[in-house]
Structure 1
Amino acid sequence: MTDLFAPDSHDWDPRADSVQRDQMAAYDEMRRRCPVAYSDYLQWSLFRHEDVMRVLTDHETFSNAASRHLSVPNAMDPPEHTRFRRLIEPYFSPEAMASFEPHCREIAESVVARLPQTGEIEAMAELGQNFALEIQCAFMGWPSSLHEPLRDWIRQQHDATLAGDRERLEKLALEFDGVIRELLETRRTAGAAAPDDVTTRLLRETVEGRPLRDEEIVSIIRNWTVGELGTIAASVGILVRYLAEHPNLQARLRGEPELLPAAIDEILRLDAPLMSNRRVTTKPVMIGGRRLEAGEKLTLLWGAANRDEAVFGDPDECRLDRDAETNLLYGAGIHVCPGAPLARMELRLIMEALLADTIHLALIADKPAIRARFPAGGYSAVPVRWRAERQGSSPDLVRPMGKKDPAG
């Protein structure tokens, strides 16, 4: 994979075709050959689990304040981060998840039930994106009329990101912020008649004894929504593709659904739905044998760190008995994803619904899944053949294709 490396003094080219065709394979190669690498596009990229963990646990040397825009609390450091984090965490508490679970289950089952009884589906659009849109609007208390505008916004943002069109991205960000501000204003106008949902409750929050400013609420909602819509859809695509490729594991999870939480986390360790996060150095530091000066930007590549042989052995081995503490799917340290309980519940419920409603998921030999391009993870398209376990279904199955089936 010599074309990973840029033709000048830089260590690699993250936008090279060889990287974009299969980010996981390219990052595996970089982790072994140049674990702390520089490029114009991502600046310093970290590929090893050990180096990423060091950054995550040393927030004094590696700051989260790496964004040009207000990002609450993602781009904040203590003590500011601590104050906002304390405000946000109750929205994802065990009590909040238990309250939302019945509605979440209903949506998951509805999305699956709308799929055709048999034939081919494109799992990213028909399952992952539909579920992500419906579940996020339900969690925030937004009307279903926002589903399609949000879908169109995601598509436009994706296209502008791939094109590197900063002007278009800025315009799209303002459009999205405008939608949120309209939702806030509607609830203010309604007063006591406003729905008691997550969006309304954020309007009542205070930090350090003062109400949240609108720009802070917009930032919180933007981070929750953009992150949720992208990563949940990507996660569903990865999970469906993996199970379609591994029929023994698919069958085992149908018979033992209690294994789904461990299986989901492990499959998403193998193939990251969220590729990266950023940090910036606050002082000179040596990491991975490279000297970084103060103010250097870093890209933490989750998809690489979570496949590190030094921690996981064979990175492609699917094991349901791994130590959950080593899996960086939701990060680690003080910035671990606060929404992880919600994401885990949503993914468990959509996969429970899918496996309960099907007797067959298989890849299609002449229609391979198409890899997403950075900064997205997972796939842009996942064609699969499926058969539902509904009244009148035929027991005749098409033999699924696939490689060695782990955990079967």
Structure 2
Amino acid sequence: MKRETREARSPGEALHECPADWDPRSQEVLSDQIGAYDRMRERCPVARSDYLGWSLFRHQDVLRVITDHETFSNVVSRHPSVPNGMDPPEHTLYRRMIEPYFAPERIAAFEPVFRGIARDLVDALGRDLPCDVIRHFAEPYAVRIQCAFLGWPESLRAPLLQWVYRNRAATLARDTEAMASVALEFDGHIRSQLEVRERAGDAAADDLTTCLLRQSVDGHRLQHSEIVSILRNWTVGELGTIAACVGIILHFLAERPDVQDLLRRDRTRLAQAIEEILRLHGPLVSNRRVATREVIVGGRTFAAGDRITVMWVSANRDGEAFEDAGQFRLERDQSQNLLYGAGIHVCPGAALARMQLNTVIDEVLDGLEPFSLAPGTGPVRAIYPASGFSSLVLKAA
């Protein structure tokens, strides 16, 4: 009878009789996510909770799951997600379709645009210090470069940031009504952009959003729902993670004047430093998968349909994968760094993100005098599902 009940439930709703190993939403975890995940990796590296299902904290377990798409499916929601929430062969078709949007020549064409945005924000920041660089620099940078990349108007910047805040709150609370509401809100923003371009016809702006309207896959023109899903994936990832990355990097450099000084003198080390800083403090906490069959991971048995959460932040701090994992090493080999994932779902926009981060930090080091943390003002850590900082006040050193 129990077997029949398990199989009748939708993916991610498998029944368990064992008690939870941890509470991802406890104050202890939310107040210091990185420290909590480090402790879980040592104490209970494969842990069950009602909120996240099975959570994996070790690098080897995370890598196993994300590179075995036949056993661990990306179809984790009842709502379509293109292409992140797909498995082959469907994923293969859509992934092949979107990859040209992140081709090197397209990315290179945007570098001067992003640099100009960064320079404007750095100029304003230099006049405003001390100030909260998350609200006044990192988040504005993320939303402005995303609107520039997709060809969206300035009027969408503020609504998009407010949408990100509401989406995070709904996700943390697992409030399905609120999550559905914010999803519809986002759909409305994007559909309005599609309608503007359709009304313009051949005179529509030659931007990425217009290109998607004219895009075909497997012999059919993309539907509006597919375009909205693609743009939602790109935008959620961009606004949340780029803003988190900028805050994390600025915090690190404020605390490590030796590294800040080195990078001011030698920008050729910047890209390498950013990869290592973001390995230490990941901007993206986790991703989800669903088991397609019964499987043993780390000595624990997952049933078909079980929800799985891979904890990127923890995996990249695993001492089994990185020597002195908790220490900053500029010369570290980054080949095992899961910052942008691995396998068939590795982030298609990794090169774009690297360029965006290198550009903005390069402009910070050019345009700002040495900076440090402002005393008595935090910083305030972000809480799940976000990473980094919700507030970070810097001052001139």
TM-score, reference length from structure 2: 0.93
The 5 Å alignment of 1:328-407 reads: 328-386=338-396, 398=397
Q: Deviations over 1:336-378 (max 9, x none)?
A: 0001111111111010000111121101231221111111111
Residue 225 of structure 2 corresponds to residue 215 of structure 1: yes
Residue 20 of structure 2 corresponds to residue 10 of structure 1: yes
Cα distance, 1:139 vs structure 2: 0.2
Q: Deviations over 1:6-32 (max 9, x none)?
A: xx8211111111111110001000001
State which of 136, 139, 143 in structure 2 corresponds to 1:126.
136
The corresponding residue for 1:72 is 82
The corresponding residue for 2:31 is 21
Structure 1 Cα separation of the partners of residues 363 and 56 of structure 2: 37
The corresponding residue for 2:299 is 289
Cα distance, 1:142 vs structure 2: 0.7
Cα distance, 1:382 vs structure 2: 0.9
Query: What code does the residue aligned with 2:59 have?
Result: H
The corresponding residue for 1:83 is 93
Query: What code does the residue aligned with 1:128 have?
Result: A
Root-mean-square deviation (CA), in Å? 1.2
**Is the partner of 1:45 in helix, strand or coil?**
strand
Q: Deviations over 1:374-398 (max 9, x none)?
A: 1111111111113xxxxxxxxxxx4
State which of 205, 210, 221 in structure 2 corresponds to 1:195.
205
Structure 1 Cα separation of the partners of residues 163 and 132 of structure 2: 20
**Is the partner of 1:278 in helix, strand or coil?**
strand
**Is the partner of 1:326 in helix, strand or coil?**
coil
Residue 102 of structure 2 corresponds to residue 92 of structure 1: yes
State which of 115, 124, 141 in structure 2 corresponds to 1:114.
124
The 5 Å alignment of 1:42-81 reads: 42-81=52-91
Residue 261 of structure 2 corresponds to residue 251 of structure 1: yes
Cα distance, 1:102 vs structure 2: 1.1
Structure 1 Cα separation of the partners of residues 126 and 174 of structure 2: 37
Structure 1 Cα separation of the partners of residues 364 and 69 of structure 2: 40
Structure 1 Cα separation of the partners of residues 173 and 306 of structure 2: 25
The corresponding residue for 1:237 is 247
Structure 2 Cα separation of the partners of residues 134 and 119 of structure 1: 21
Query: What code does the residue aligned with 1:198 have?
Result: L
Q: Once the two structures are aligned, what percentage of the paired residues are identical?
A: 54
Query: What code does the residue aligned with 1:327 have?
Result: N
Cα distance, 1:118 vs structure 2: 5.9
Cα distance, 1:283 vs structure 2: 0.7
**Is the partner of 1:377 in helix, strand or coil?**
coil
**Is the partner of 2:70 in helix, strand or coil?**
coil
The corresponding residue for 1:5 is none
Cα distance, 1:313 vs structure 2: 2.2
Q: Deviations over 1:303-347 (max 9, x none)?
A: 000000111122221112222220000000110000111111111
Structure 2 Cα separation of the partners of residues 363 and 105 of structure 1: 25
Structure 2 Cα separation of the partners of residues 146 and 10 of structure 1: 42
Structure 2 Cα separation of the partners of residues 120 and 315 of structure 1: 32
The corresponding residue for 1:138 is 148
Cα distance, 1:98 vs structure 2: 1.1
**Stretches of structure 2 lacking an aligned partner (at least 5 in a row):** 1-17
Query: What code does the residue aligned with 1:81 have?
Result: H
State which of 171, 181, 201 in structure 2 corresponds to 1:161.
171
Q: Deviations over 1:76-125 (max 9, x none)?
A: 01111110000111111111111111111111111111214363121111
Residue 176 of structure 2 corresponds to residue 150 of structure 1: no
The corresponding residue for 2:322 is 312
The corresponding residue for 1:206 is 216
Query: What code does the residue aligned with 1:182 have?
Result: S
Structure 1 Cα separation of the partners of residues 61 and 209 of structure 2: 37
Structure 2 Cα separation of the partners of residues 30 and 186 of structure 1: 49
**Is the partner of 1:380 in helix, strand or coil?**
strand
Would the aligned equivalents of 2:126 and 2:367 in 1 still touch at CA under 8 Å?
A: no
**Stretches of structure 1 lacking an aligned partner (at least 5 in a row):** 1-7, 387-397, 399-408
Q: Deviations over 1:130-177 (max 9, x none)?
A: 100100000000111111121222222233334443212211110110
Query: What code does the residue aligned with 1:79 have?
Result: P
Q: Deviations over 1:238-265 (max 9, x none)?
A: 0110000000000101111111111111
Query: What code does the residue aligned with 1:62 have?
Result: F
Would the aligned equivalents of 2:168 and 2:385 in 1 still touch at CA under 8 Å?
A: no
The corresponding residue for 2:4 is none
CA pair 40-117 structure 1, distance change in 2 beyond 3 A: same
**Is the partner of 1:312 in helix, strand or coil?**
coil
The corresponding residue for 1:391 is none
Query: What code does the residue aligned with 1:321 have?
Result: E
Query: What code does the residue aligned with 2:202 have?
Result: A
Query: What code does the residue aligned with 2:68 have?
Result: D
**Is the partner of 1:10 in helix, strand or coil?**
coil
The 5 Å alignment of 1:25-36 reads: 25-36=35-46
**Is the partner of 2:19 in helix, strand or coil?**
coil
Structure 2 Cα separation of the partners of residues 151 and 65 of structure 1: 27
Structure 1 Cα separation of the partners of residues 274 and 368 of structure 2: 18
CA pair 9-159 structure 1, distance change in 2 beyond 3 A: closer
Aligned residues: 380
